[in-house]
Structure 1
Amino acid sequence: MKALLPTGDPAKLVAYGEVDEPRPAPGQALVKVEAFSVNRGEVFRLHGALPSVGLRPGKDVAGLVVQAAADGTGPRAGQRVVAHPPGGGWAEYAAVDTDRLAVLPDAVPTVAAAALPLAGLTALRLLRTAGSLAGRSLLITGASGGVGHYTTELAVAAGARVTAVSATPERGRRLAEFGATVVQDLAAAGGPFHTVMESVGGPSTARALALLRPHGELIWFGQASRRPATLDFFAFFDGPSCAAVRHFHYEDFPEPYALDLATLVRLVAESRLHPEIGRLADWSDTASVLADLHERRIAGNAVLTTGP
């Protein structure tokens, strides 16, 4: 079957190649991939170690089950699904564990569903980590990507007063429509905040930390700038008292992905969550889309389709 494979070439990170069609294990369904989303984390891995270890990218897919799991779990053949495999999804077919699948209702288009898994799971679990946000102030850095869009919309709906940092007014327009206060720099963010969700790294982390209220919490979940953060804890203790810094990773949760994917699908079906697709293209354009994503020329999610 046809699949996108790492090239090791920074100028063109992936190219078509031929691989064996996957043979599902008993607890896996075989999915005909109709659309997939690409994420900046995958771009960074393609620039780094991924080609050398021979792994195939692709964690966000949506499509049609063509072979149900032999153990009887999961969706039936013929059902549309969204899936979050650990890799290998940028291909014509993917074998996916049934606890990583959710069935799509007619109200949720395949293209919209493909934009849900990694970004949506991250946002949902970030808010679960933060706890009750009703009436509380929340700062989100690096908010114009897929995670930021989902987190902002869900947090506003939960009653939070959200301030979102977006590099440009254009990239932040949708965040403002959700009900957030949008700023282009932390210096304009105001504060102090009950909770800060920080994903930029570099000097942003220390600056965001200084905007916490006493007993507030900073949840660190990324380093999009690719610059390590340096914190001066003497300066920190001159600011908020008894504040906390928490590391977050969306995989470190007991709930199976299937349950949270089903929640995201239900929210989309009920028009309570709106995938923001900043780029939609055929998968023959994946290499150029990855370059634009790396250079932050795409707001929201980028989705590629495999069919005509």
Structure 2
Amino acid sequence: MRRLIPTGEAARPVAFAEAPQPVPEPGEALVRIEAFAPNRGETFLLENPRAGLLPGKDIAGLVVQAAADGSGPGVGARVVGHPGQGGWAEYAAVPTHSLAVLPDGIDSVRAAALPLAGITALRLLRTAGSLAGRRVLLTGASGGVGHYVTELAVGAGAELTAVTATPVRGERLAELGAHLVYDVAAARGPFDVVLESTGGPALPAALSKVRPGGLLVWFGQVSRTPATLDFFDLLNGPERVAIQHFHYAGAPYGADLAALVRLVEQDRLHPEIGRTADWAETAATLVDLRERRIRGKAVLLTEGAM
């Protein structure tokens, strides 16, 4: 079969290679991949790839071999999955606890855009707690996670302010009900909850916007710049603020994937897909994703796409 492997080249991060079809473990199903969606964080891993890296966390496709232990969907089921690696290929062996069955009304393109960003959004908002009637600030809002967080938080009754680099990148967020600002300093606090994903100087700026007794959840550093907090600055800012580190990972993922699928099916969640292309265009798409030239998610289609 064909799969994409890292090259270590900035201008062409991946290339096709021939590889044996994966052999599933007893608790894994073999999925013929129809679509996959790279994440911006994966583009960073490709800059200096470790030996044996097989990228690909978000996939949708068709089960062609059910798990030997009897778990998970059967042969012929259309699924969305989060294998963790190896998804940029014609086939992937995926743990059944990281799969959810797709209804007929959800195509593989929208499904592939769900896993990492959608699971992150669900788990991030659970960490933040009840949002009805609360003021929320979201930084780095125009990526895949930000679109899901915005739609889910506004739908839960939050008053959400989204920080984006430009009006164009925030256009869809405004349609979803967010108030837009283009710099953290311009956000009019105080906020009950701040969801911070930028790092660097944005983190202390965002922290200064939290109300006394409020919460800042730190879930990323897309600026790739370390943040520095000054204790004495905090003395002059909000009191008793809680700072919580967040990372989405922790299997099983199947229940959250199923929840995301239901939200899409019920017309309550709408994946923002900025590009759909043949997987022959993966290298160029990865560069554009890394350089933030794609709003929302990018989805690549394999030869197996229906």
**Normalising TM by the smaller chain, what interval?**
over 0.9
How many residue pairs match? The answer is: 304
Which runs of structure 2 are paired with 1:23-62 in the superposition (5 Å)? 23-48=23-48, 50=49, 52-62=50-60
Provide the residue aligned with 1:78 in structure 2.
76
Unmatched segments (≥5 aa) in structure 2: none
The 1-side partners of 2:83 and 2:232 are apart by: 43
Quote the Cα distance in structure 2 between the aligned partners of 1:256 and 1:237.
41
Q: 2:103 & 2:301 partners in 1: Cα distance?
A: 19
Q: Which amino acid aligns with 1:101?
A: L
CA distance in structure 2 between the aligned counterparts of 1:119 and 1:11, rounded to whole angstroms: 25
Pairwise CA distance, 1:32: 0.3
Give the residue type in structure 1 aligned to 2:164.
S
Please name the residue that 1:296 is paired with: 292
1:110 and 1:11 mapped to 2: Cα distance? 28
1:158 matched to 2:156? The reply is yes
How far 1:189 sits from its partner (Å)? 1.1
Q: Which of 198, 201, 206 is the matching residue for 2:199? A: 201
Output the CA distance in 1 between the equivalents of 2:300 and 2:204.
36
- Is residue 262 from structure 1 mapped to residue 258 from structure 2 by the alignment? yes
> What's the CA shift for 1:237?
2.3
Note the alpha carbon deviations across 1:186-232, whole angstroms, 9 max, x for none: 12211110000000111000100000000011100100011000111
| Secondary structure in 2 matching 1:292 | helix
**TM-score for the superposition, normalised by structure 2:** 0.98
What is the DSSP-based 3-state SS (H/G/I as helix, E as strand, rest coil) of the residue aligned with 1:290?
A: helix
Match of 1:89 in 2: 87
Name the structure 1 match of 2:9.
9
Hey, what's the Cα distance between the residues in 2 that align with 1:11 and 1:180? 35
1:133 paired residue number:
131
Q: Which runs of 4+ in 1 moved over 6 A?
A: none
Q: Aligned AA for 2:255?
A: L
Instruction: Work out the CA distance in 1 between the residues paired with 2:51 and 2:221.
Output: 23
Could you tell me which runs of 5 or more consecutive residues in structure 1 were left unpaired when the two chains were aligned.
none
The answer for the alignment partner of 2:224 in structure 1 is: 226
Cα offset, 1:16, TM superposition: 0.3
State the alpha-carbon separation in 1 of the partners of residues 234 and 276 from structure 2.
Answer: 43
1:14 partner amino acid: V
Identity %: 65
